Structures are given as C-alpha cells and as structure tokens.
Structure 1
Amino acid sequence: MISFTSFPIQPDDIHNGWRAHHPDIAEDTLMDLDDEQELFEAGGSKLTYPGESLTSSQSYMRGHGTYVDNEEVIASVAGTVERVNKLVTVRAIRTRYNPEVGDLVVGRITEVQPRRWKVDANSRQDAVLMLSSVNLPGGVQRRKLESDELQMRTFFEEGDLLVAEVQAFFSDGAMSLHTRSLKYGKLRNGQLVSIPPILVRRLKSHFIALPCGVDLILGLNGYIWVSKHVKESDQEGEEGFDTEAVYSNQNDEIDESTRLAISRVTNIIRVLASRFVPLSDTLLLEAYEWTVDQEGGVKDLLQEDVGDALVATVTARL
C-alpha cells in the first residue's frame, strides 16, 4: 500500500515558485505584496489620512473614499481602511449616519406635521415618524382617528428626544421610524451625548444596563442616551399601557449618586470618542470600573493625562 506524506508549504516556497513562473517580476514587487498583506491583516481595517497611498490599483479595486493616481489607490478622506476581497474602501470618520433597516437610532423631534413628526437622526435628511407607527392609548391595533391627529403634540412635540427603530425608507431616501414597542418612545431622566457614528459598534443589544444604576442606549446614528436605570415593564406595548408615563415630559426624581454616575459615564464616552475608540458594552464597563478604582472626581476624567491613562488601560485589558 502506497502512502503519501505532505509537508507544510513555507511562504518562501510560494514566492520562489511564483518567481520561477514569473521571472520578470521584480523583488520589490514581492515586498509590496507583503506590505499590502500586513496592511489588511490587523482586523481588516486601519486608520488613514487623505493623500495616503494604500495599495496598487493593479492588485485591488478602489471603492468609496479612494481614488487612483499613478496606478496607486489613494485615500481621499480620513477614516478607516476596509477591504472586502479585492475592493478597498475608506469609511470616513466625520460623516453623516448611513441608515439600514432595523437600526436603533436616537433622535430629536424638529417639526410636527399632519399625521407625522420630523426627527433629527444625524442623517443627511430628517427622518419621519408617522402617527400610525407609534403606540397610542387603546392599543396599537386600533385605527388612528382625527382626534389622535389633533392631540399629536401631547405625544411628541418639538425638542423631545426619542429612541426608535428604522422601519423602511421613502422614495427620497428619508428614514421611516417606528416606536411600536415599549422599549422605544420618549426619553427622560438622562443626558444626550453625540459622537461620530463610526464609533458605535453593532451589538446584539444596544440597551445596556450598567451595575452603577445607569442605562445606556447606543444609537447607531451616533446619539447616545445616558439615563437613570428604569425597571423593565411587564407590558410589551399591546393593551392598556400607561399613557401618561410613556409620553410624560416630567423627569423623575434623581438622587445625587445617580447624577454623579450619569456624569461619569458621559465623560467616559467623551474621552473614548475624542481618541476614536469604538464603543462596546464590555469596554464601557471596564472603563467605568477603572475610573471608580482611581477614586478621582468626575471632572478629572476630562484632563488629558487621565484620559490617556484610561484609554491605554482599557484597550490593553481588552
């Protein structure tokens, strides 16, 4: 019986075999291929700046945020380099939110129109929340009447903050939102933080409850809501929900320790965002525990040396 033994192929063997079939290929070309491989090995992305040469246009195709000059793919914006097969793109750091169906967003009511609200969701144009896409007294299945349209400002008015889900898109590209679940709706008892949307990772759940009594809503549009912890309701938006509690404009009483915890979490988010660190639930929890161990004040987090130490410690742990 004949048996065959296979030996692992070394990278040098690949290069030597390739060079034997392609004797006209110069040595520096092989080095360029190695550099390009290292460029995309670290998680498939890296930070770049406008005008930086990324790779050869003969080896890769250019995508959004790049252009070709002298047979080289060059970044046209500052952002992260992303590669899908042979397509190289640069996702800009400072850019408007690009929505997808099912995304969780935090927004602010900008205008009340007939049977709809206009919502600032940090996108290229205002989103739309239809009257038929919200929870109303009497259950979500009932028809919306003229009396409901006359009472629209009792539900949402200009300046109100809300959390909603992207339901669909209109023909002009505007987002259509809905708040048919009691997890969504008007926001109270907290503070809004705005960061670049690119720094908000897609997680299994964007509702995060920290052990310090603070709730987080990580909107994929870059708007983050930090608020007092609220117990989950047993009702799921069907019949008989408390209308006054859901659409109330009055904040609850917040004790001093909770206020300090909200301010601490808010400053942590600002420090991480200022250094372009993508946010996640585990990262925020590690950062909060580190700041508590330091026994410093809430304002101390905004100092440059403390912020640098926070980012270095948390990223090293994770």
Structure 2
Amino acid sequence: MAVDIRLATARKRVSLPAEVTKHLVSPGDTITTDTGFMRGHGTYMEDEKLIASVAGAVERVNKLICVKPLQTRYNGEVGDVVVGRITEVQQKRWKVETNSRLDSVLLLSSVNLPGGELRRRSAEDELMMRDYLQEGDLISAEVQAVFADGALSLHTRSLKYGKLGQGTLVQVSPSLVKRRKTHFHNLPCGAAIILGNNGYIWIYPIAEQKEDEAGGFVTNFEIKDILKPEIMEEIVMETRQRLIDQEG
C-alpha cells in the first residue's frame, strides 16, 4: 500500500496588516508605535508605544484608539434597545436591572397605560403600578436618557416594548451585541429574538408573543381576580379571539 509522506519544512510567515493582527489584544500587547495616535480607554503609553491595558477589541475613531473589553458592564447610549428585570417598585418609577453598573429607572410617565391611553398619570395609576409591572417581571425598553452618574432612564412608549411573556433569557457579554437598525428578529424556526444592547437576549415563540391593545403590557392577575366581572369579560374575549385565529 502506497503512503504519501511529506518532510518537515520551515513554514513561511504570512504578514497581515497591522489593523487585522491587532484587532484583538491582551494586556501588555503593543497596539501601535505610531506616536500620532491619541490614547483612549483601555490603553497606556510606554516607551513611545501605545499598549493595551485590558483584553478586548481595538476600536479607532480618527486619531483616538481605545480597547473595548470583552467582559464588561453595559454602558448605555440613548436609543439602545435593552432587556431588563424589574427589581423594585418605587414612587412613580420602577427600578430595572439592565446589566449596568447602576440600576436603570423606568418612570411611570414613560410607559403606555393599558388601553394605550395618552393622558397625565393620576394617583390611581400610581396605586396600580404593581398591577402593570412587579418585581421579577422582564421587559424590553429603549434608553431615553443617560444621567450624569451613568444610570439609564428607560421608556416603553411603543407597542414593540413592554412586559415580556413566555420565553427564555440568555446573557452574553454586551460587547458581542452590535448596535443595529433593528434588534427585533423573527427566525424561520417559529421563534423570535430580541437582541438587547446590554447583553440580555430574549428568545420567545412567535405565536405566544402578541402585542395587544394594552400598549405593550399584560396585566398581572391573581386567581381571585378571575371572579371580577371585568376580568371575566377580558378572558372570554381573548379566548374567543384565539379560537377564531385557530379556525383560520
């Protein structure tokens, strides 16, 4: 039986452009020896060399070079889509955990009320806040503002945002989620996905996640609430609509 054998030879080094070889760096790696660049976050100067102080991806904006860490807390920007968990119900606001250094804030005035009403929030709305969102609930939202201390102010004033229903939460590093035009995607397998810029990814069945007239909110009902006439009527109407949808 014939066997092909190759003798060992010295391999030729392939020279790659500097921006490719230094895209991912470790602490102590030299990013560039060009003194014309400015030092950004995650870098320091030594012996006229720009050196990485953290492990991450090199980012360049004009003459400014910085290193974005692969493992880091989320630093929000206005317009970002995030997925978060309600941690506390406070006066006229909810505290939301968004994988940031500080808890984010969702004001009562920054949500759509059930029915999609646009009006000033009343004392009755404040008393019913826990009926809209309570501790442990997951929401999708958009960053409305960034406070001086870095905390985020969120809003859900759109039908695509609000309380999340059945699904699975997956957490990844925020550096893996790039800012794109849309972060809501329907997959061909019958599932949909929300890519939160904060590294929280929500995967849910398309059939179960339907936006209704509640303005992105599904009211929390307890078993005893089913005895209320208005709740009975709502359950009947929703059941009837689902039967109609199933029949075609």
| TM bucket, shorter chain | 0.7 to 0.9
Q: Which residue of 1 aligns with 2:55?
A: 78
Kindly provide the amino acid, as one letter, of the partner of residue 126 in structure 1: D
Indicate how the Cα distance of structure 1 residues 96 and 176 shifts in structure 2: closer, same or farther if over 3 A, else same. same
Identity of aligned residues (%): 56
Structure-1 residue corresponding to 2:180: 203
Residues 1:119 and 2:91 aligned together: no
Contact 2:114–2:217 (8 Å) recurs in 1:
no
- Over the aligned positions, Cα root-mean-square deviation in angstroms equals 2.4
Following superposition, the deviation at residue 231 of structure 1 comes to: 7.7
Aligned residue type for 2:198: N
Q: Tell me the distance in 2 between the aligned counterparts of 1:244 and 1:108.
A: 15
Instruction: Report if aligned partners of 1:82, 1:88 keep a CA contact under 8 Å in 2.
Output: yes
SS of 1:132 mapped into structure 2: helix
Partners of 1:64 and 1:211 lie apart in 2 by 40
Name the SS for the 1:188 alignment partner. Answer: coil
Deviations 1:72-127 (A, max 9, x none): 11100000011222222111111111111111000000111000000001111010
- Equivalent-residue separation in structure 2 for 1:245 and 1:133 (angstroms): 13
The partner residue of 1:39 within 18, 24, 29 is 18
CA distance in 1, matches of 2:216, 2:196: 25
Q: Specify the alignment match of 2:116 in structure 1.
A: 139
> Deviations along 1:144-171, whole A, 9 cap, x unmatched?
1111111111111111100000111234
Q: Would you say how many aligned residue pairs link Structure 1 and Structure 2?
A: 208
Distance 1:160 1:224 in 2: 15
Aligned partners of 1:211, 1:138: CA distance in 2, in Å?
31
Residue of 148, 156, 165 corresponding to 2:125: 148
**TM-score, scaled relative to structure 2:** 0.77
Gaps of 5+ in 2: 1-14, 223-248
- 2:29 is matched with which residue: 52, 61, 67? 52
Q: Give the alignment partner of residue 146 of structure 2, picking from 150, 169, 187.
A: 169
The 1:248/1:182 distance shift into structure 2, 3 A limit, reads farther
Higher relative contact order (Cα pairs below 8 Å, separated by 6+ residues): 2
SS at match of 1:246: coil
5+ residue gaps, structure 1: 1-34, 236-240, 251-318
TM-score, normalising length: structure 1: 0.61
Structure 2 counterpart SS, 1:88: strand
